[in-house]
Structure 1
């Protein structure tokens, strides 16, 4: 209790500017119900004395009920003309009710409402720490892949990115938040606007790698003839074979944004096993066509889609492709 008294005195002095002394326990007889809920003390502030009402039971405390109990307290104690409720860690909604009912109180370390002293204070809520980013959202990864493929040549706003990548401005704003939180790119503020600045690609790739994931969400097998020519974007080992000495796979592999599958599935039926004329269709978390070149997915996304392969031929071909990149 002594520690609580000291905390109370320090808190009131700091907020209200008055030195206060928490005096001795008042032994005036009270009904048993009130004794179970409250302890009464004398509070000395300057040349004035206040009745300090310490809450023993915070869980059952209700401001409306307290006002009825207070009437009983005044019947037994007459030497004070003012009082203050003393507590710790009282729920916020209860404190709000006390303010509304003009009940003076001190929630030690958190809030002080004491009109008699002309003082009121409430501790500001601390801003929540930003969430720890372990893997980027698909939209954020799309922004970084866009930057790695030379899409960001000058500072760009979330609104502009939304227009270029097919997302909403709000989604691009969240993408910039993620990028800024793990310091992958520079984000500059100018008034109310934020700009994503171009970065050196090699350093960006190195720093972003731990946060980037396989862009392939799912794989469907369909008849190749059911895939429109303008959607046949080479991916996987098909794309890797086109730019290396790797042999083409038996089934062609293509990439498509997952959002487009619902429409395509109305005309393209899935096939359970490999057969003559079938192909594999990778459904991606983001739109691979945005960064495609020469009819195949971009090298960074291709690397991410195949980086867990344990085939030495694939690993070797991937490394050679990355070595050829112009940083």
Structure 2
């Protein structure tokens, strides 16, 4: 047994416990593994629940079986299962395909990340808590969490029956790291008569919103934003105009509902920056830089 395991005496809160380090990555099946650990535990004069197996690798089936058998185990930096400590806590990497360079977040994932950066959602946050503020279903919230974890932008920690999103980085660092995964929220740009502007297109956007928040001179034709999915109904009977003209306004159709992130008459500042980052006008870029200097971190 000494060639397979090395025991260590430890104390947690004054409680005498034992950590059993596996010296080989090739562990036996859970049933035989449990028998070996029980024999070693008895020789150390400990109760079975007081000794925790420490190993660098344990497949999903073995982890599940050890939990069923009440055998404590630890994968350093990944997962801890030890009921004798009075709680079951896990921190485990989401198993999924990591996001690849050049891939973008889905609209829902981008919306959630921006809500976190804008402090509309405060970290650490239970994954189930992502749904209500942004109008997502519980299934969508889980998918969004997986995207954000697999992209490396956020981390996950399991505590009992709850899963929590968190990050060790400041918000400004997350924003900088997220840039390759974020895209322009605008899907289409249309022009309609100001008198026919749909009520859903109530938030100022584009250079109009930028002018409201910086020293930029506003454009002669105002710009508004609304969710692309609402246009089919709201714009069904509206005439769209090909070119700018007096009496018109621009309507940006967004990948996600802009009102979910806004707290005023304008679209949120992060989405606004993303919608204008391809602009080549030096005046606009100076105003964007001014706005970035007032971001919420």
The two structures have a TM-score, normalised by structure 1, of 0.57
In structure 2, the CA distance between the partners of 1:316 and 1:131, relative to structure 1 (3 Å rule), is: closer
Partner of 1:212: 182
Q: Distance in 2 between matches of 1:288 and 1:128?
A: 29
- Structure 1 residue runs without a partner (length 5+): 1-126
Residue number among 155, 172, 181 corresponding to 1:186 in the alignment: 155
Partner of 1:137: 106
Q: Say yes or no: does 1:271 pair with 2:271.
A: no
User: Highest CA radius of gyration, 1 or 2?
Assistant: 1
Offset from partner CA, 1:254-293 (integer Å, 9 cap, x none):
1101111111112433222323221110011111111113
**Runs ≥4 residues deviating over 6 A:** none
SS of 1:324's partner is coil
Partner of 1:165: 134
Partner of 1:238: 208
Offset from partner CA, 1:217-253 (integer Å, 9 cap, x none):
1111111222245632110100011111211112111
Q: Equivalences for 1:13-162 in 2 at 5 Å?
A: 129-130=97-98, 132=100, 134-162=103-131
Q: CA deviation at 1:164?
A: 1.3
CA RMSD of aligned residues (A): 2.0
Q: CA deviation at 1:148?
A: 1.1
SS of 1:231's partner is coil
Q: Distance in 1 between matches of 2:186 and 2:118?
A: 19
Residues paired across the two proteins, number: 201
Offset from partner CA, 1:159-188 (integer Å, 9 cap, x none):
321211112221221111111112212222
Question: Contact conserved, 1:157 with 1:194, CA < 8 A, in 2?
Answer: yes
SS of 2:293's partner is helix
Q: Distance in 1 between matches of 2:186 and 2:244?
A: 20
- Structure 2 residue runs without a partner (length 5+): 1-94
Q: Distance in 1 between matches of 2:269 and 2:99?
A: 30
Offset from partner CA, 1:51-83 (integer Å, 9 cap, x none):
xxxxxxxxxxxxxxxxxxxxxxxxxxxxxxxxx
SS of 2:125's partner is coil
Which of 1 and 2 has higher RCO (CA within 8 Å, sep 6+)?
2
Q: CA deviation at 1:129?
A: 4.5
Question: Contact conserved, 1:233 with 1:256, CA < 8 A, in 2?
Answer: yes
Q: Distance in 2 between matches of 1:128 and 1:248?
A: 46
Q: Distance in 2 between matches of 1:211 and 1:246?
A: 28
